[in-house]
Chains A and B, each alone.
Chain A
Amino acid sequence: MSRPEDILPPDLFYNDNESRKYTTSSRIRNIQADMTHRALELLDLKSPSLILDVGCGSGLSGEILSEVSPEDGGPHTWVGMDIAPSMLDVALQREVEGDLFLADIGQGVPFRPGTFDAAISISAIQWLCNAESSDVSPEGRLKRFFEGLYASLRRGGRAVCQFYPKNDIQRSMISGAAIKAGFGAGMLEDDPGTKNSKLYLVLTVGGGGLQGDITGVVNGMDDVNVLDARRKAMEVHNARGPPRKGDKAWIMKKKEQMEKKGKVVKSNSKYTGRKRRIAF
């Protein structure tokens, strides 16, 4: 599947035509609505709040924020930021309730410290991994964004960012940048391993975190074990260590390397890398 991130910078990619297509496509609207509802669930807001919508586009997610019923703690007031003028133009024509800002999130977040109760971002922050000019780097842009976001949220506030990482490197780059900025971070993946897999980065500012599971999805559920993938990976790493020269893992690695080089390599069997019996 082609990624719009690889084609053009966001402000150019979402021209009038693309913006209109994006906003009128019922498929995209449905996906956006589902993700926004999921993000709201993760934000767990109890009362009408002031929310920042990062990469608000044509206001598809903002609309949902304004429509939250009073029983669910809404309606929320939101402020949107986006870099694509055409998208914001569509939002203006649709007369969304939030205030809109044409701003590049990679340049920071232009609000006073402690402004927002929460922040939401749907399919936007992967754009930060692209640098459009040689004088900025993806790392720098991510740093500026997350530092700005951290400052603009009030203590105890939360942010949920849904994004499409291109690969694991981008995924860890984004979450790493958020942690460096001071956030407590957790990742939640819906439908992992499928085409519809959706990744949510849940961020908390000072004390918003829950014990064990930061995303709070298992709150109030019984018989749920929280597996910390990091701990497991650490244990495996510590127990085994790097393969030593001559042991089975090392031999397998070497065989693989040789095979990749195009050398003739004997096929693996149960005897591969086994020690010989001492005959005498």
Chain B
Amino acid sequence: MKVITANFVTCAVKECKTSPLSFPLHFHDAELELQELDFQPEFIRNVVPRIDWDSLRVTANELGFPSLPESKPEGEALGDEQTLKDLHRLLLETQVMEGKLSEGNKSTLTSRRSLLHFVLLYLVHILQAPSAEAPTKTPPMPSTTVYDA
């Protein structure tokens, strides 16, 4: 999974979406891989305003990257080639290949066939809650659930 995707994924279950814990999802025991892609400055410029900078800093920290600047590059900073290249490397070229993903401190989702860009997203919830259409009033969330496919 690309780091950029991790910055956008939340839990789709209704009760979770409103809680601040549902975003960002946290990585554990992540194994990274660098996948070279063509550098597209326009794409980065287009997407950076939508990035949640605080959670990107959290994710980068979890993945062991050197700390990012305090604030999101905006306006003129986005014209700087080096900044864009760094962001490109972090957001698009860094792939999390293996590891665990957890939501807040509630449930842990493991990757299937040890490839994390194939995430069993909120399947745990579907197994827990009898029906997502008519959610139970208090979602029965276990402290840790490991779903292994």
Contact = CB atoms under 8 A, between A and B. Distances in A.
| A and B associate in one complex | yes
Contact of B118 (A88, A111, A135, A140): A88
Given A47-B42, A101-B119, A135 B9 contact: no
B134 A135 contact: yes
A117 B123 CA distance: 26
B120 A102 contact: yes
Contacts of B14: 108
Interface in B104-119: 112-113, 115, 117-119
A103 B23 contact: no
Given A48-B40, A49-B46, A107-B126, A100 B132 contact: no
A153 to B, nearest CB: 11
Given A102-B123, A107-B126, A79 B118 contact: no
A182 interface: no
Given A107-B126, A112-B23, A79 B5 contact: yes
Interface string B1-25: 1101100111111100000000100
A115 interface: yes
Interface in A9-51: 47-50
B13 to A, nearest CB: 8
A111 B10 contact: yes
A265 interface: no
Interface string A90-129: 0010000101111110011111101101000000000000
A100 B122 CA distance: 14
B9 A111 contact: yes
B121 interface: yes
A85 B112 CA distance: 10
Which of B9, B12, B42 has the largest number of chain A CB atoms within 10 A?
B12
A75 interface: yes
Contacts of A141: 133
Interface residues of A, number: 34
A170 interface: no
Given A77-B92, A110-B11, A99 B50 contact: no
Contact of A107 (B1, B52, B113, B122): B122
Contacts of B132: 107-108, 144
Contacts of A49: 43, 46
A110 B121 contact: yes
Given A103-B12, A108-B12, A115-B8, A135 B131 contact: yes
Contacts of A88: 118
A55 interface: no
A47 B42 CA distance: 7
Contacts of B12: 103, 107-110, 148
Which of B10, B120, B134 has the largest number of chain A CB atoms within 10 A?
B10
Interface of A: 47-50, 75, 77, 79, 85, 88, 92, 97, 99-104, 107-112, 114-115, 117, 135-137, 140-141, 144, 148, 154
Given A50-B47, A102-B118, A110-B121, 7 more contacts: A48-B43, A79-B5, A107-B13, A107-B132, A110-B10, A112-B8, A136-B133
10 contacts: A49-B46, A79-B5, A102-B123, A103-B121, A104-B126, A107-B13, A107-B126, A110-B9, A135-B130, A141-B133
